[in-house]
A and B are shown apart, each in its own frame.
Chain A
């Protein structure tokens, strides 16, 4: 089954860019990405720029509305994602536990919808 893992966290919590802690955490991110690739379960994933760089688009009555900022103004924001292909939710949970930001952020696991071939 494919799962999208949405990585949320408050941007001012956890290692901040430019600190030695951040550099150390980057190594952990590389390590988990490699581990997923080697296990053959990695189906995608990216890190995102901070939420302040987000733009939200809506089309209403044919008119495009463009607003600055993320879809919802919350303290915990989306910081990145992985897509993994594993057997079940328990396996997905085991991978989520290893994500470097999970000790101070959270990971939302969402099963990916599969459409019938026909």
Chain B
């Protein structure tokens, strides 16, 4: 009982505790250490009848005492002692400060001057409170490697003077976009396998990523002065029509005066929706042998209907801001797939339209190729091939293996088997993980058998 109580409090209190301590102590490593020691003490002392009424306050007081002990032992931090001794007597802090502290923790861990691996590791350690071993296991690296990575990152934060602050309004969109990319990276790391991973889906990371986006949305909303935009039926309906007809009633970013001011939450909600739609397919992404199953072959009856409904609800909330961005567009596409009865009966026209928007703000090979695939489904294989030709001729994507695999698939549908086989071979030459290569070899063998 006691243990589960501590675990529950841990989930509720960890990021707040680390954020508050980080501000008090001015040092991330020291904050993390004190928070961890406080939880260790809680696990040892709390029993079914001895759990404090306000566990958060108990933890903060305990952690501050632990930090004072550490500082007394370590002269490097001696100058922090007087300020901390004063803090130790104060109970909590105003909630607005607490919100800023937590946001500062998230933005600090995802600061652009840290490399991506460090950003991911720090966010999981400091914000989510995963242990170094848990993070190491999730990314299939030895614990010592992950520990070193975290130490190096905290070292850089201290020595380079990386500030843990909520960015100014003019910098918020760019900084937020880095945070969102890290959250999505954590999600996809959980969603796709490393080559010799135990399974294709490591769900824990997916859960952490979705929780992070949820916390971020709440904090951004609590921080902004205005209320979140009202979720009226009209907007929900507009969204539905938009998805059905591919006709966008919303404006990009600013210039829309009847939408609520975007406090940054619109894109975070878009990312939450995208992850909900993707996670709804978790059980069907691999077959019994652990092989990758493509979206078009997945058993749609086993998709998680509750999560899909959750995705649509989040999309409605996001679109109420009328501030469209890349995550909302991707979520809208994922939402169409999630509700389509079959691959063939998907509303490809709307998907093409959404990709047309997306490719303009995010001109990556993945987006450009998916757009071409959608064109093939909406108009026909020839049109899809024409769109792909543009990518090889002008786009310099000739070395992109997924492009050749996709071309091969369209040529196969047109019964141009020899050309298809050549494309499969080209894709195989360009490498990939084992599941992908096995898939391509099967396809090539099927062609040869015809």
Annotate B163-192 by CB proximity to A: 1 below 8 A, 0 otherwise: 101000000000000000000000000000
List 19 other contacts, CB 8 Å, given A89-B113, A90-B165, A93-B113: A1-B161, A3-B161, A87-B161, A87-B163, A88-B161, A88-B162, A88-B163, A89-B111, A89-B160, A89-B161, A89-B162, A89-B163, A90-B162, A92-B161, A109-B160, A111-B159, A111-B160, A111-B161, A113-B159
Closest to B164 in A: A88
- A48–B163 CA distance with the chains assembled, in angstroms: 31
- A92–B111 CA distance with the chains assembled, in angstroms: 14
Max chain A C-beta neighbours (<10 A), residue from B113, B160, B162, B165: B160
- A93–B160 CA distance with the chains assembled, in angstroms: 11
Contact residues, B140-172 vs A (CB, 8 A): 159-163, 165
Closest to B168 in A: A90
Annotate A80-95 by CB proximity to B: 1 below 8 A, 0 otherwise: 0000000111101100
Contact residues, A75-114 vs B (CB, 8 A): 87-90, 92-93, 109, 111, 113
- B162 — which chain A residues lie within 8 A by C-beta? 88-90
- A3 — which chain B residues lie within 8 A by C-beta? 161
Task: For the complex, count residues of B whose C-beta is within 8 A of A.
Answer: 8
**Could you tell me the distance in whole angstroms from the C-beta of A115 to the nearest C-beta in chain B?**
12
* Residues of chain B whose beta carbon lies under 8 Å from any beta carbon of chain A: 111, 113, 159-163, 165
- A109 — which chain B residues lie within 8 A by C-beta? 160
- A58–B39 CA distance with the chains assembled, in angstroms: 53
State the majority secondary structure of interface residues on A: mixed
- A111 — which chain B residues lie within 8 A by C-beta? 159-161
Closest to B112 in A: A93
12 pairs, A vs B, C-beta closer than 8 Å: A3-B161, A87-B161, A87-B163, A88-B163, A89-B111, A89-B160, A90-B163, A90-B165, A93-B113, A111-B160, A111-B161, A113-B159
- A20–B162 CA distance with the chains assembled, in angstroms: 39
- A93 — which chain B residues lie within 8 A by C-beta? 113
Contact residues, A47-65 vs B (CB, 8 A): none
- B163 — which chain A residues lie within 8 A by C-beta? 87-90
- A87 — which chain B residues lie within 8 A by C-beta? 161, 163
- A109–B163 CA distance with the chains assembled, in angstroms: 15
- A87–B163 CA distance with the chains assembled, in angstroms: 9
- A74–B163 CA distance with the chains assembled, in angstroms: 32
- A3–B162 CA distance with the chains assembled, in angstroms: 12
- B161 — which chain A residues lie within 8 A by C-beta? 1, 3, 87-89, 92, 111
**Could you tell me the distance in whole angstroms from the C-beta of A113 to the nearest C-beta in chain B?**
8
- A1–B159 CA distance with the chains assembled, in angstroms: 9
- A110–B113 CA distance with the chains assembled, in angstroms: 12
Closest to A91 in B: B163
**Could you tell me the distance in whole angstroms from the C-beta of B17 to the nearest C-beta in chain A?**
24
Closest 10 CB pairs of A and B: A88-B163, A1-B161, A88-B161, A89-B161, A111-B160, A89-B162, A90-B163, A89-B160, A111-B159, A111-B161
Closest to B157 in A: A89
- B113 — which chain A residues lie within 8 A by C-beta? 89, 93
- A101–B165 CA distance with the chains assembled, in angstroms: 29
- A1–B113 CA distance with the chains assembled, in angstroms: 16
